[in-house]
């Protein structure tokens, strides 16, 4: 008698080898998708959204690409997830982590074909990952003590990160920009203090770092355009009709005259509020919410610069930068902390007027103004810069540095190979496979640059067999070069995160021997 249907209609079940196959293929497809973006000569992808307007994004950032994909394969979703986490945690290496996980699975597939149990493979991978991590730990350099050298390390890392992005043309310039911005943070990883403003027009080279704070707002009409020694009150309060908050209140009148009276009272109330604000002895008032015409007029009369409708981030940042507090009540002017800055003025970037606060108290914050030919370009530039900033801020905390250009992978591969030789049993196959997967990263970098990868990798391996070597792939000259001289560095933290999360993800997918997909939830037909 046939087994009755166990699961609901449309639900599917894949078992054993078929399940494994499905997840391998899904994961490898994702890895192959982003593979071509790896390395300095990696290519970009165009993403077109299905939403209204079919917005187009051009990017080379792994996390951005994967985030925008609609994926059905559950194993592929695991990879997308690790890439997202990598982005949140360290900001860079989003492509590498997916590619490495994909390569690990590709090797694992070969091993399962040779009838090695997935659990054995996992055991081997774990040993190999531990061994590679130790290898990295040994080789990592720490220049924290020497500020000069540390700064040059940061510079190198920034340049290496940027070289695979759209900003590679001016990488030196932007690397300097990013390093300066991060150094101002003085060790905090709070990237909110770095504001990035994008303005179309001009060329990438026209981008600049501003030490003050720029607010993308206009100054009200009839108000001063330039204030020296500004006292700023940052507020979050309703400056429109200020409705009564007591529940159920409503105005009920029986004649037109009464309406006028109430209106008068309302106006009076607003005027009082404005008076109180002015009473703080300020000459600049920034509000998160709208400022209506009437209060604006009052402010203008008092010679106060009023800026309305700054977004919440802007307000927080402004409060942070100027050292004031965000106020919502104005009854005790003596105890409200006001913000200060030396100069507020309106500046023009391209065609837009912006408000520039310079000479602020807290030197931590700064603004990077990006200029570029098109909005796509600017978006991509912002993402690249974000990556660089993330990596730098993480490096400031964990100052260990590695060389780049496939050097760490080769170092790890060598150690792992050695481990494989020492390990008895079937696990050694898995360990060897791990080393092959590691080596595939420089291979892909070389392939993407149109170089003869087979030749290069074998040269590199021979080079790495010597005791100490700094060789990696020099994509520019197309040969094996000394990474230290070329100034190609990577952050230890990023590499470690790539290694660990890729192994973890591969392990997770390998352990699966059955995929059960539930019937998709029925959606109401909206048409």
Partner 1 sequence: MALAFDEYGRPFIILKEQEQKSRLRGLDAQKANISAGRAVARILRTSLGPKGMDKMLQSPDGDVVITNDGATILEQMDVDNQIAKLMVELSRSQDYEIGDGTTGVVVMAGALLEQAEKLLERGIHPIRVAEGYEVASRIAVDHLERIARKFDFSEANIEPLVQTCMTTLSSKIVNRCKRALAEIAVKAVLAVADLERKDVNLDLIKVEGKVGGKLEDTELIYGIVVDKDMSHPQMPKRIEDAKIAILTCPFEPPKPKTKHKVDIDTVEKFQTLREQEQKYFDDMVQQCKDVGATLVICQWGFDDEANHLLMHRNLPAVRWVGGVELELIAIATGGRIVPRFQELTPEKLGRAGLVREKSFGTTKDRMLYIEQCANSKAVTIFIRGGNKMMIEETKRSLHDALCVARNLIRNNSIVYGGGSAEISCSIAVEAAADRYPGVEQYAIRSFADALDSIPLALAENSGLQPIDTLAAVKSQQVKENNPYCGIDCNDVGTTDMQEQNVFETLIGKQQQILLATQVVKMILKIDDVIAPSEY
Active-site residues: which are they? Answer: 61, 94-95, 387
Positive or negative, the CA dihedral 247, 253, 257, 258 is: negative
**Closest distance of CB 211 from partner 1, Å:** 22
Segment lying near partner 1 (by CB under 8 A), choices 164-172, 252-260, 411-419, 472-480: 252-260
- Give Cα 253 distance to the centre of its chain: 56
State the pairing for strand pair 400-403/489-491. Answer: antiparallel
Instruction: Specify the residue, 229 or 328, whose C-beta has the smaller distance to partner 1.
Output: 328
The answer to whether 182 contacts partner 1 (rule: CB under 8 A) is no
Binding of residue 11 to partner 1 (CB under 8 A) = yes
**158 interacts with partner 1 by CB under 8 A:** no
- The answer to whether residue 507 forms part of the interface with partner 1 (CB under 8 A) is yes
Contact 110, 433 (CB under 8 A): yes
How do 366-372 and 194-200 pair as beta strands?
Answer: parallel
Query: What CA–CA distance (Å, rounded) separates 120 from 113?
Result: 13
**Binding-site member from 81, 206, 216, 482 for partner 1 (CB under 8 A):** 81
Pick out residues in 207-236 that bind partner 1 (CB under 8 A). Answer: 236
Contact 99, 444 (CB under 8 A): yes
Question: Residue 415 is inside which H or E element, if any?
Answer: helix 407-422
Q: Which of residues 387-446 bind partner 1 (CB under 8 A)?
A: 390, 393-394
Q: Which is nearer to partner 1, 123 or 441 (CB)?
A: 123
251 binds partner 1 (CB under 8 A): yes
Q: Which is nearer to partner 1, 15 or 205 (CB)?
A: 15
- 184 sits near partner 1 (criterion: CB under 8 A): no
Q: Where are the alpha helices (DSSP H) in 285-402?
A: 293-301, 312-322, 375-397
In this chain, which of 328, 374, 375, 397 binds partner 1, going by CB under 8 A?
328
CA distance 106 to 301: 72
Please tell me the count of residues contacting partner 1 according to CB under 8 A. 85
Q: Which one, of 174, 123, 216, 148, lies nearest residue 384 by Cα?
A: 174
Query: Which residues sit opposite 283 in a β-bridge?
Result: none
Query: Measured between alpha carbons, how far is 357 from 362 in angstroms, rounded to an integer?
Result: 12
- Cβ 336 to partner 1 shortest distance, Å: 7
Judged by CB, which is closer to partner 1: 105, or 460?
105
CA proximity to 434, closest of 135, 78, 131: 131
Residue 51 or 520: which CB sits closer to partner 1? 520
Alpha carbon 384 to its chain centroid, in Å, reads 8
- Does 279 interact with partner 1 (rule: CB under 8 A)? no
The token pair that represents 347 in the structure block:
């500046």
Binding flag, residue 334, partner 1 (CB under 8 A): no
In angstroms, give the least distance from the CB of 329 to partner 1: 5
Beta-strand pair 284-287/305-307: parallel
Stretch that binds partner 1, among 157-165, 302-310, 330-338, 377-385 (CB under 8 A): 330-338
Stretch that binds partner 1, among 88-96, 303-311, 398-406, 477-485 (CB under 8 A): 88-96
Tell me which stretch binds partner 1 (CB under 8 A): 187-195, 202-210, 444-452, 455-463: 187-195
Per CB under 8 A, 48 contacts partner 1: no
Q: Is 108 exposed, middle or buried (0-12, 13-18, 19+ CB in 10 A)?
A: buried
Q: Would you say 45 or 493 has its CB closer to partner 1? A: 493
Q: Give the integer Cα–Cα distance in Å for 296 and 220.
A: 7
Candidate list 180, 206, 211, 504; residue touching partner 1; CB under 8 A: 504
Question: Which listed residue (29, 47, 58, 89) binds partner 1 by CB under 8 A?
Answer: 89
């Amino acid at each position: 008698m046939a087994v009755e249907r166990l699961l609901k209609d449309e639900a599917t079940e894949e078992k054993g080898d078929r399940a494994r196959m499905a997840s391998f293929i899904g994961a490898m497809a994702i890895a192959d998708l982003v593979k071509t973006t790896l390395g300095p000569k990696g290519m970009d992808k165009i993403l077109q959204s299905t939403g209204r307007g079919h917005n187009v994004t051009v990017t080379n950032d792994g996390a951005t690409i994967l985030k925008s994909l609609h994926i059905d394969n559950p194993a592929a979703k695991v990879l997308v997830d690790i890439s997202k986490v990598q982005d949140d945690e360290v900001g860079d290496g989003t492509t590498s982590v997916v590619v490495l996980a994909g390569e690990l699975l590709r090797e694992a597939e070969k091993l399962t074909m040779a009838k090695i149990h997935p659990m054995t493979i996992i055991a081997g991978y774990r040993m190999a990952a531990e061994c590679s991590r130790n290898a990295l730990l040994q080789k990592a350099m720490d220049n924290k003590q020497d500020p000069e050298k540390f700064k040059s390390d940061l510079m190198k890392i920034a340049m290496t990160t940027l070289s695979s992005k759209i900003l590679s043309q001016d990488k030196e310039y932007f690397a300097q920009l990013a390093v300066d911005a991060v150094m101002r943070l003085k060790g905090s990883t709070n990237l909110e203090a770095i504001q990035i403003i994008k303005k179309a027009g001009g060329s990438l080279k026209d981008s600049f770092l501003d030490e003050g704070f720029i607010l993308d707002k206009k100054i009200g009409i009839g108000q001063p355009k330039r204030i020296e020694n500004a006292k700023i009150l940052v507020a979050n309060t309703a400056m429109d009709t200020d409705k009564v908050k007591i529940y159920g209140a409503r105005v009920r009148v029986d004649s037109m005259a009464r309406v006028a009276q109430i209106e008068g009272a309302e106006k009076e109330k607003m005027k009082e509020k404005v008076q109180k604000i002015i009473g703080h002895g300020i000459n600049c008032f920034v509000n998160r919410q709208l400022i209506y015409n009437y209060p604006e007029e009052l402010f203008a009369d008092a010679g106060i610069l009023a800026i309305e409708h700054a977004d919440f981030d802007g307000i927080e940042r402004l409060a942070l930068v100027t050292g004031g507090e965000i106020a919502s009540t104005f009854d005790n002017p003596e105890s409200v902390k006001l913000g200060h800055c030396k100069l507020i003025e309106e500046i023009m970037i391209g065609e837009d007027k912006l408000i520039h606060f310079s000479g602020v108290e807290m030197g931590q914050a700064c603004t990077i103004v990006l200029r570029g030919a098109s909005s796509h370009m600017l978006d991509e530039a912002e993402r690249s810069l974000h990556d660089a900033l993330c990596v730098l801020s993480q490096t400031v905390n964990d100052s260990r540095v590695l060389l780049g250009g496939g050097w760490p992978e080769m170092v790890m591969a060598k150690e792992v190979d050695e481990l494989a030789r020492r390990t008895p049993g079937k696990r050694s196959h898995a360990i060897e496979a791990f080393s092959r997967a590691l080596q595939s990263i420089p291979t892909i970098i070389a392939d993407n640059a149109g170089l003869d990868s087979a030749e290069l990798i074998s040269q590199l391996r021979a080079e790495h067999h010597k005791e100490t070597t700094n060789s990696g792939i020099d994509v520019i000259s197309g040969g094996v070069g000394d990474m230290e001289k070329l100034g190609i560095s990577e952050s230890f933290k990023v590499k470690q995160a790539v290694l660990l999360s890729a192994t973890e993800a591969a392990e997770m997918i390998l352990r699966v021997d059955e995929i059960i997909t539930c019937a998709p939830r029925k959606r109401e037909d909206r048409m």
